[in-house]
Amino acid sequence: MTPRLWTTWAGRSLFLNHVSMTNFIRESNDRGDVPGWVLITLMTAGLVVVMWAMAGPALGDVFNNAIDRVLSI
């Protein structure tokens, strides 16, 4: 038995939806904004480095205090 290509869901043909989505993907020439995403990624990494440099010693102290309290119990 062959699969039913004309199965309907909520009154819409799944086969026709598949065909129209396939044509949309083939006709789409939009490759995205790669330089923009690279810039966002680099800026985010830079912010993480700056925040880590500023908060690193304080976070280290918090961690060491917590470990000391756990070990002293």
Helices (H), 1-73: 14-27, 34-72
Is residue 1 situated within a structural domain?
no
pLDDT tens, position by position, 45-60: 999 999 999 999 999 9
Q: Which two tokens stand for residue 27?
A: 């006709």
Is residue 62 situated within a structural domain?
yes
Q: Which two tokens stand for residue 11?
A: 């009154």
Which residue in this structure is represented by tokens 């993480």?
Answer: 48
Which residue in this structure is represented by tokens 């912010």?
Answer: 47
Q: Which two tokens stand for residue 67?
A: 């470990």
Residue span of the structural domain in which 25 resides? 8-72
What pLDDT, on the 0 to 100 scale, is given for residue 36? 85
Is residue 15 situated within a structural domain?
yes
Is residue 33 situated within a structural domain?
yes
Is residue 3 situated within a structural domain?
no
Question: Rounded to the nearest 5°, which phi and psi values hold at 45?
Answer: -60, -40
Q: How many angstroms separate the Cα of 10 from the Cα of each of 14, 26, 50, 59?
A: 10, 26, 52, 54
Is residue 18 situated within a structural domain?
yes
What pLDDT, on the 0 to 100 scale, is given for residue 2? 47
Is residue 56 situated within a structural domain?
yes
The count of domains in the chain is 1
pLDDT tens digits for the chain (73 residues)?
Answer: 444 555 555 555 555 555 555 555 555 555 667 788 899 999 999 999 999 999 999 999 999 999 999 998 7
Is residue 58 situated within a structural domain?
yes
